């Protein structure tokens, strides 16, 4: 594994409270970096940016990002890997590079929903010192293309919910898209590198953490710009099935309360499920159906995958 590191001029002298940790793979995080840098004056030297290219292998993109980082006012470091090491390992690597007492995991396809996004995180960290806090996400700035209608409907229904509702099941609604973690907490519980592919490594981490620390939910949202087509979502669900089984085996008490698990358990008893499962995916592809119906079909496809995994 080859690793290269590039720092801007503001990096060396900074003593940040908060480290913003941003992994990406084949994405361009430039827009998000510029948006965060607009708050450089407000946060003074209390925040730094650490960006991890997890094996994109695009020299042109690396050159553009290097130039952008040099132009930022916020202290910034770009770590470039020549090969992908995965979501959990990459985030653990970012945490090792961080100098702040607080870590803000932020996906590269997020967009802050208001101009005090970073300042509010810094203020919360300094004032309340939460062990873990999730800020939530929205679809305010997300693309409205028809090809993303199913994902938009599903996310609006199950993910983009206010803090008071998320707090009812605090470990369930923890995603690394907009997540603040105190360093001593992360030093105690890091991400499990045994997870591969897409899905569940952040929720499993939150399950472990919630047994020892308080998981707080606040409303400091950012927009999730990375909506997927039905095909892309289905592929992610296929990747996530072994991860779900790993979580279910480790944390049966938490998972028993999740609708996806309860439906999977019921589907497991259905004769010929392997033959029926593709029909759920096929129905989700039918553009003439309402997005809500297609979303239900896709959730059933996911539950059928999970039924075979558990």
Average of per-residue pLDDT across 88-95: 88
Q: What is the DSSP string of the chain?
A: --EEEEE-TTTTT---SEEEEEEESS--THHHHHHHHTTHHHHTTSEEEEEEEES---HHHHHHHHHHHHH-SS-EEEEEESS---HHHHHHHHHHH--SSEEEEE-TTEEESSTTHHHHHHHHHHHH--SEEE--EE-TTS---GGGHHHHHHHHHHTS--HHHHTTSTTTT--TTEEEEEHHHHHHS---TT--SSSSHHHHHHHHHHTTS-EEE----EEE-----HHHHHHHHHHHHHHHHHHHHH-HHHHTT-HHHHHHHHHHTSTTHHHHHHHHHHHHH-TTS-HHHHHHHHHHHHHHHHHHH-
Q: Closest by alpha carbon to 305, among 270, 272, 273? A: 273
Confidence (pLDDT) at 169: 93
Instruction: Check whether 232 has a pLDDT greater than 90.
Output: yes
Report pLDDT for 68: 97
The residue to which tokens 């470990």 are assigned: 171
Q: Calculate what percentage of the chain has a pLDDT beyond 70.
A: 100
Whole-structure pTM value:
0.92
List the domain boundaries for the chain.
Answer: 3-227, 228-310
The dotted CATH code for 3-227 is 3.90.550.10
Would the pLDDT of 129 be above 80? yes
Q: How confident is the model at residue 198 (pLDDT cuts 50, 70, 90)?
A: confident
CA distances from 257 to 153, 165, 237, 239, 295 (A): 23, 15, 20, 22, 21
Residue 287 DSSP symbol: T
Tell me the mean pLDDT in the region 259-287.
Answer: 94
Give the C-alpha separation, 227 to 301, whole Å.
18
pLDDT at residue number 94: 94
Instruction: Decide the pairing of beta strands 3-7 and 132-134.
Output: unpaired
Q: Assess whether pLDDT exceeds 90 at residue 17.
A: yes
Sorted by sequence, the CB contacts under 8 Å of residue 84 that are 6+ apart come out as 25, 54, 55
Rounded Cα distance, 175 and 196, in Å: 16
Write down the pLDDT at residue 263: 95
Mean pLDDT on 35-52 = 96
pLDDT band at 192 (very low <50, low <70, confident <90, very high): confident
Per-residue pLDDT band at 146 (split at 50, 70, 90)? very high
> Which pLDDT belongs to residue 75?
97
The pLDDT of residue 6: 96
Tokens 């129905």 label which residue? 283
The per-residue pLDDT of the chain, averaged, comes to 94
Extract the tokens encoding 135.
Answer: 């800020």
Average the pLDDT over 38-50 and give the result: 95
Reading the block at residue 94, the tokens are: 């970012």
What pLDDT is attached to residue 279? 96
pLDDT on residue 253: 94
Q: What is the mean pLDDT of residues 271-287?
A: 95
State residue 190's pLDDT score.
87
């Amino acid at each position: 594994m080859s690793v290269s590191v590039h720092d801007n001029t503001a990096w060396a002298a900074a003593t940040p409270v908060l480290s913003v940790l941003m992994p990406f793979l084949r994405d361009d995080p430039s827009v998000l970096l510029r948006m965060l840098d607009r708050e450089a004056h407000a946060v003074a030297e209390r925040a730094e940016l650490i960006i991890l290219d997890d094996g994109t292998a695009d020299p042109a993109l690396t050159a553009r990002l290097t130039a952008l980082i040099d132009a930022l006012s916020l202290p910034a470091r770009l770590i470039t890997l020549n090969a992908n090491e995965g979501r959990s390992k990459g985030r653990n690597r970012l945490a090792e590079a961080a100098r702040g007492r607080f870590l803000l995991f932020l996906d590269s396809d997020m967009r802050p929903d208001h101009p005090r996004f970073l300042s509010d995180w810094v203020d919360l960290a300094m004032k309340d010192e939460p062990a873990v806090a999730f800020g939530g996400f929205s679809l305010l700035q997300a693309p409205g293309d028809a090809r993303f209608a199913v994902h938009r409907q599903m996310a609006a229904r199950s993910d983009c919910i206010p803090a008071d509702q998320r707090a009812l099941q605090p470990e369930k609604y923890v995603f690394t898209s907009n997540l603040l973690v105190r360093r001593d907490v992360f030093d105690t519980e890091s991400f499990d590198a045994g997870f591969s592919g897409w899905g569940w490594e952040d929720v499993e981490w939150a399950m472990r953490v919630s047994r020892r620390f308080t998981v707080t939910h606040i409303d400091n949202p950012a927009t999730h710009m990375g909506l997927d087509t039905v095909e892309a979502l289905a592929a992610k669900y296929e990747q996530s099935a072994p991860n779900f089984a790993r979580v279910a085996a480790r944390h049966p008490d938490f998972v028993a309360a999740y609708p996806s698990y309860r439906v999977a358990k019921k589907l497991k008893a259905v004769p010929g499920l392997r033959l029926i499962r593709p029909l759920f995916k096929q129905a989700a592809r039918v553009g003439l159906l309402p997005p809500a119906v297609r979303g239900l079909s896709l959730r059933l496809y996911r539950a059928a995958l999970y039924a075979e995994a558990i």
